[in-house]
Amino acid sequence: MSIKLIISLIVFSLFWFFLILHFVRKKKISVRYSLFWLFSAFLILMVGLFPGILNGINRLFGFEVVSNLVVGMLITILMLITFILTIIVTKQKEQIRVLVQEVSLLESERKND
């Protein structure tokens, strides 16, 4: 991996880290959901600080160049996070449905009294 890519990764991950922390402090993201984003920033930082790990890991996956492994890792992280988000959306849809039903039932009861 080129020194430029390493520096980019470190700068980007630090920026990413503080951006997430900033939003957690402002309570725009709950701690619970910030954790997997912080974990992604941590992974990127580790790769920047210890690029040697990647060579080891790449022996397992066999990318032609290690930088492709970095891209592959990032895509995998994104897929995981969006999948988790879809699970959360599905659960929230269910919760909203129950809310709408109960409020509507209550409202009709109130009108009939």
Partner 1 sequence: MKKILLIIPAYNEEQNILKTYESITNYNAKFHSKYDVLVINDGSRDNTEKILTDHNIPHIRLIQNLGIGGAVQTGYIYALRNGYDVAVQFDGDGQHDVNYVKTIVDPILNGKADMVIGSRFINKDMDNFKSSQVRRLGIRLLSRVIAFKTKKKIYDTTSGFRAVNRDIMEFFAQHYPTEYPEPISTVEVLSRHMTVLELPVKMKAREHGKSSITLVKSIYYMINVIFSILIMKKVK
Please choose, out of 22-30, 36-44, 57-65, 92-100, the segment that lies near partner 1 by the rule CB under 8 A.
Answer: 92-100
Binding partner 1 by CB under 8 A: which of 59, 108, 110, 113?
A: 108
Residue count, binding to partner 1 (CB under 8 A): 10
Query: CA-CA distance, 103 to 109, in Å (whole number)?
Result: 10
Which residue's structure tokens are 């690029």?
A: 51
> Is 88 one of the binding residues for partner 1 (CB under 8 A)?
no
Smaller CB separation from partner 1, 53 or 103: 103
Shortest gap between Cβ of 98 and partner 1 (angstroms)? 9
Smaller CB separation from partner 1, 30 or 101: 101
* 60, two tokens: 């397992």
Burial class (CB within 10 angstroms; exposed 0-12, middle 13-18, buried 19+) of 92: exposed
Q: Residue 30: helix, strand or coil by DSSP?
A: coil
Q: How many residues does the chain have?
A: 113
Residue ranges in contact with partner 1 by CB under 8 A: 93, 96-97, 100-101, 103-105, 107-108
